[in-house]
Amino acid sequence: MTLLLGKWNHGIVIIASTQVVAVLLPKLRMQPAETRVHVIMMEKQLDRTLKNSAANVLRETWLIYKNTKLVKRVNASRVRAHQRKFLLAIYALRKVKMDQRKLMDNASSMTDMAKTQSNVYEIVSDLAGRQDHLDDRLTAIEEKIAVIHEQLEGLPEVINQCFSSHLDGPQKQNLLRPESAAIVGSSTQSASHNLPHSKSVPTSSGGGNRSALLLQAPSPSVPRTSPQP
């Protein structure tokens, strides 16, 4: 029983700690401006440390040369002490250079990440604009195709109406204008007068100026006798 309670307590503690970390981690994370300031301060500190390490290397080099070349009696313990300090200064100089390289890599990666993010945002916005433009063009093309389809569907009716109006035109004109029909009738009568077997017989003037067309059959020719004196 106690073992089970211990496991439960251990699980509760783990869950609570993970929740606390999840809540505090965004607050503890530095903002981009704070990160840039931190990088600048670290660069200055590393430059100062680099200068001190280089100065220590030069100093220990000079002391080694002094204790080995400029003295009459060489003190081996002192020379070994300066050699150990010389090596420590070289290690410190290398470490500072490595830290500078890492810092520059992190800074460049942050800069590259910001540039990449801005480039990706520009590309995505450009693609969205092009997609909207293509959607508008496709919508316009679909509307034009629908209009053309409607016009093609109504084309047979228009053709039939044109043919019917073209055929019914002369008949309607004769019905609306009777004088044209009279002109047509007079032309037919004149044509009948010009026939060789038709003659016009005038009527009396008492009945008015009316004329009748009498069609007679051709009579047999009778020989005429000349009058005798």
List, for residues 64-99, the tens digit of each pLDDT value: 999 998 888 889 999 999 999 999 999 999 999 999
Higher pLDDT, 179 or 134: 134
**What is the reported pLDDT for 22?**
62
**Pair 83, 64: CB distance under 8 Å:** yes
Phi, psi angles (nearest 5°) of residue 213: -100, 120
Of 46-50, 151-155, 216-220, the range with the lowest mean pLDDT is 216-220
Check whether 109 has a pLDDT greater than 70: no
Check whether 108 has a pLDDT greater than 50: yes
Q: Within 10 A of 89 (CB to CB), how many other CB atoms are there?
A: 20
At 60, the pLDDT band (50, 70, 90 cuts) reads very high
**What is the reported pLDDT for 48?**
92
Q: Which fold has domain 32-156?
A: Helix Hairpins (1.10.287)
Going from N- to C-terminal start, the domains of the chain cover: 32-156
Element (H, E) at 212: strand 212-214
3-class DSSP state for residue 111?
Answer: helix
At 156, the pLDDT band (50, 70, 90 cuts) reads confident
**Pair 85, 53: CB distance under 8 Å:** no
Check whether 36 has a pLDDT greater than 90: no
**What is the reported pLDDT for 52?**
93
Mean pLDDT of the chain: 73
Q: What is the pTM of this model?
A: 0.40
**What is the reported pLDDT for 90?**
94
**What is the reported pLDDT for 174?**
55
For the chain, the distance separating the N- and C-terminal CA atoms, rounded to the nearest angstrom, is 181
Higher pLDDT, 73 or 229: 73
**What is the reported pLDDT for 118?**
77
Higher pLDDT, 28 or 198: 28
Q: Among candidates 94, 64, 98, which has minimal Cα distance to 78? A: 64
**Pair 64, 87: CB distance under 8 Å:** no
Highest averaged pLDDT of the listed ranges 8-12, 44-48, 166-170:
44-48
